[in-house]
Copies of this chain bind each other. A is one copy, B any other.
Amino acid sequence: MTSINHEFETRFKLWLDELDKFINNNITSTEPVFNQAQSRLINAGGKRIRSLLFLISSQADRNREELSNRLIEIAAAIEILHMATLVHDDIADQARLRRGEPSALDEFGSEPALFIGDYFLSKAYHLFFKNLSAESLKFLSSKLPEICAGQMSEFKNRYNYDITVRDYLKQVRRKTGLLFGVASYTGAIEAGFSKASSVHYYRYGLALGMAFQIQDDLLDILGDTETMGKPPLQDIRQGIYTLPVILLLEDNELKVRFIRLIESESYLKILELLENNQYLNQARKIEEQYFKRAAAELDYFVDDPAGDDLEFILNCQNNRRE
């Protein structure tokens, strides 16, 4: 997979460098802990998919604005907003690792991480206020409370053996899909597209984000610490039941066995149970449906200069194994 990563990084290198440069030069708090956290988190990596979706979409019009500071600042705000949600998720999940590095929770402690997340949120909002058009602001800000609802819903459903596929998909939509969708939509709006055209960018992002999250949840079951940057079966250990587990829980007999295995902390046996019963493949198929939905939207912008890049992003995500 290294070759895909390499191609990805080469293709978007200029933009990614501009983005990181802006975030690294924009470390401005009077509170040293906030600056350390910003520097640490931005340099811990990540593919910046959400920021890229915005930047690519913002270049979707042929008479486009050159990639300006304004657009870079919006893309940075999207990344900073995303970091805020990660920092708070890690507190709720007591996650000590993030992208293979100590999480903000681990490095700074629970209470500082709380305020670090708040700071990132307010910093992101400030950059949005400063740079986004009114239509984009209205759309973005109407979706943010729903993203919090997705995070809350995931936490509330921990150790819930009755969670349904529908609950899960709604959660994934809010927790991950929305921000992917918002990034793509606001990009298209900033490119000067109408709401009617931009909505296809929204749907593309939303479906891609959902596929991405389902895949991420699968990788948590199948991946190893080295490529994932966190121990495997982390979700199940924390009582977070994702798609393959939820499919398994629909079978009452297996449900009883699953609960017994959770109680005895027999995680390797849970893995066997999932593999022997094809639930991983079933989940993979649902993931594939969302990738297809995203691909279907590509037809709407086949003539836009952004089309190839968005197709490339989709294919990279579809093939990722980490």
Residues of A within 8 A of B (CB): 29-31, 33-34, 88, 91-92, 111-112, 114-119, 121-123, 125-126, 129-130, 137-138, 141-142, 144-149, 151-153, 155-156
Contacts and interface: CB of A to CB of B under 8 A. Distances in A.
B115 A118 contact: no
A144 B84 CA distance: 15
A114 B126 contact: no
A129 to B, nearest CB: 4
A114 B138 contact: no
B149 A30 contact: yes
B142 A115 contact: no
B146 A115 contact: no
Nearest to A158: B111
Contact of A152 (B119, B146, B156): B119
21 contacts: A29-B145, A30-B149, A31-B152, A34-B145, A34-B149, A88-B114, A88-B115, A92-B114, A92-B115, A112-B152, A112-B155, A115-B148, A115-B151, A116-B152, A118-B151, A119-B145, A122-B145, A122-B148, A125-B125, A126-B144, A130-B141
Given A121-B121, A122-B144, A125-B125, A149 B29 contact: yes
B148 A111 contact: no
A153 B31 contact: yes
Give the secondary structure class of A's interface.
helix
B115 A155 contact: yes
Given A88-B118, A111-B91, A141-B129, A34 B148 contact: yes
Given A111-B92, A118-B88, A123 B152 contact: no
A149 B31 contact: yes
A144 B128 CA distance: 13
Contacts of A30: 146, 149
Contact of A141 (B31, B34, B117, B122): B122
Contacts of A155: 111-112, 115
Contacts of A116: 152
A156 B33 contact: yes
A118 B148 contact: yes
Nearest to A126: B141
A126 B112 contact: no
> Which among A114, A130, A144 has the highest number of chain B CB atoms within 10 Å?
A114
A91 B47 CA distance: 32
> Which among A125, A138, A142 has the highest number of chain B CB atoms within 10 Å?
A125
A114 B84 CA distance: 12
B34 A152 contact: yes
A115 B152 contact: yes
Contacts of A117: 118
Given A112-B155, A114-B114, 5 more contacts: A31-B148, A31-B153, A88-B114, A115-B155, A118-B151
